Structure 1
Amino acid sequence: MFNCAVLVSCTFEDCVFRGATFASCKFVDCTFARCRFLADNMGGTCTSSGTHWCGCTATECEGWESLCNQ
């Protein structure tokens, strides 16, 4: 979904990401509220290989911890 993107001060609210790839992205001061990072219909999980999360916050999100710990 996002590859090599730089996102600064973006707000994501009530988003559902199914099997999304965030490869080598930079998220700076972004806010995630009530977002869900889920497996897609084939069982593929969201991935964030090489992604940097700088100053981002997440509130009431599902799957956030596993996404950020990759």
Structure 2
Amino acid sequence: MISLEITELVGSRHDKVKQSIECLAERGTIQLPPMGKVENKQSNSPNRFTEVYVFQGLHIAPSAMLEQSLIN
């Protein structure tokens, strides 16, 4: 899943979704996922590529996993 897909799911702007991902990573809740580029094929602009976060597998930070296991 990429951050653009999260944008569609939550009905928010992509810059705000990226900001939330970065905030969660700063807090240690998740590990910051790698970045990728997606092309907007409907655009003729030279800036038709958008940087996105690419989630693959588990991105929960180890400390968050420990907290979750202590809660359960």
Tell me, yes or no, whether TM beats 0.5.
Answer: no
TM-score by length of 1: 0.26
Larger Cα Rg: Structure 1 or Structure 2? 2
Structure that is richer in strand per residue? 1
